[in-house]
């Protein structure tokens, strides 16, 4: 006999007890995508998914069912990624302050009024901005634009804007100064805004770089 | 006519603009609003700048849209990358192994 015949108690237990293999089917894509968008390496992202689910399996008894399985597993993955970034922060210089510096200079290159918008770079009106978030195409462009950010900038941006982790925690995790964090976020936003303007909001006007 | 009025008003707008931060500074402050570094309120002089500078006002609105979109990114783009089947099988096997 290989399996215990389920009695009433064990059947009820099974009903509320999560099945780790089912997690792979139900949450595997979500966790993989979450990890991939942050580490940008498919093999590493797969490892993170595996480590997350193994940690979930080991800590299953502590899962009280107060949050959804996905939220709970996402929390485990998030902590694992933060540990990973913490190690990276200790090992390497995490800043990437050159990113977009030239473009920022060009954006405010104005002989008559220094540090005011250069007419060619000033933000144009975004038509149909109101319903952009409801359109699938917008999300493809948004994802593509955020994917163009350099790794470190993207990591900082995702931690701050997507995961909504506080600036203080990001600075502590990545071992960077608040000012460097701020410059990286500022340039990430400028670059993302410009990319969206070109590839989504003005795509049909042919205003491409 | 519109051009004539705009020409007349231009010196006054420039005079008012001279008392407000530069566009570069306003754009920097716009970004800081989302990071709780200096709080979320917009300084009075910056507000005055936003009243007369349509490009900066647009920039701020667009940053708010990006901020809103970023918050929804995790739910919106799960269809874009899938856990490969081979990896799925490997992870299931590893979980089985761990369970037994």
Specify the 3-state DSSP secondary structure of B21.
coil
Instruction: Answer whether B69 touches A (CB < 8 Å).
Output: yes
DSSP state of A113: S
Specify the 3-state DSSP secondary structure of B28.
helix
Q: How many Å apart are CA A103 and CA A115, to the nearest integer?
A: 13
A141 Cβ contact list (under 8 Å, min separation 6): A196, A199, A200, A203
Instruction: Answer whether B91 touches A (CB < 8 Å).
Output: yes
Higher per-residue pLDDT: A144 or A47: A47
Contacts of A123 in chain B (CB under 8 A): 55, 58-59, 62
Give start-end residues of each CATH 1.10.1740.10 domain in chain A: 8-91
The residue assigned the tokens 């389920």 is A6
Query: With respect to CATH, is domain A8-91 assigned 1.10.1740.10?
Result: yes
List pLDDT tens digits, range A58-89. 998 888 778 889 999 999 999 999 999 988 87
Which CATH number does A101-205 carry?
Answer: 1.10.10.10
Contacts of A140 in chain B (CB under 8 A): 80
Q: How many Å apart are CA A39 and CA B76, to the nearest integer?
A: 19
Name the residue ranges covered by the structural domains of chain B.
Answer: 2-99
Contacts of A166 in chain B (CB under 8 A): 36
Has residue A180 got a pLDDT over 60? yes
Q: How many Å apart are CA A193 and CA B65, to the nearest integer?
A: 9
Give start-end residues of each CATH 1.10.10.10 domain in chain A: 101-205
> Do the beta carbons of residue A88 and residue A45 sit within 8 Å?
no
Higher per-residue pLDDT: A205 or A145: A145
| Res. A28 pLDDT band, cuts 50 70 90 | very high
| Res. B78 pLDDT band, cuts 50 70 90 | low
Q: How many Å apart are CA A107 and CA A114, to the nearest integer?
A: 11
For residue A49, give both structure tokens: 């998914």
């Amino acid at each position: 006999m290989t399996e215990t015949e389920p009695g009433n108690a064990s059947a009820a237990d099974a009903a509320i007890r999560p099945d780790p293999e089912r997690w792979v089917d139900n949450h595997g894509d979500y966790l993989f995508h979450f990890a991939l968008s942050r580490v940008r390496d498919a093999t590493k992202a797969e490892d993170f998914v595996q480590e997350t689910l193994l940690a979930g399996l080991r800590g299953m008894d502590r899962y009280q069912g107060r949050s959804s399985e996905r939220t709970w597993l996402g929390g485990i993955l998030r902590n694992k990624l933060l540990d990973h970034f913490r190690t990276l922060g200790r090992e390497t210089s995490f800043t990437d302050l050159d990113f977009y510096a030239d473009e920022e200079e060009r954006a405010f290159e104005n002989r008559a009024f220094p540090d005011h918008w250069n007419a060619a770079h000033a933000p144009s009106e975004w038509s149909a901005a109101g319903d952009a978030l409801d359109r699938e195409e917008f999300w493809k462009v948004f994802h593509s634009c955020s994917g163009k950010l350099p790794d470190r900038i993207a990591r900082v941006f995702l931690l701050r804007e997507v995961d909504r982790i506080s600036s203080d925690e990001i600075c502590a995790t990545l071992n960077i100064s608040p000012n460097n964090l701020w410059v990286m976020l500022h340039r990430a936003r400028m670059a993302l805004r410009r990319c969206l303007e070109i590839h989504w909001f003005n795509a049909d006007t042919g205003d491409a770089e | 006519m519109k051009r004539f009025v705009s020409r007349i008003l231009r010196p006054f707008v420039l005079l008012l603009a001279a008392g407000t931060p530069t566009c570069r500074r306003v754009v920097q402050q716009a970004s800081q609003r989302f990071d709780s570094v200096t709080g979320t309120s917009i300084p009075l002089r910056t507000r005055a700048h936003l009243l007369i500078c349509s490009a900066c006002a647009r920039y701020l609105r667009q940053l708010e849209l990006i901020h809103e979109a970023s918050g929804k990114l995790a739910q919106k783009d799960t269809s874009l990358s899938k856990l490969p089947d081979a990896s799925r099988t490997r992870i299931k096997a590893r979980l089985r192994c761990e369970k037994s």
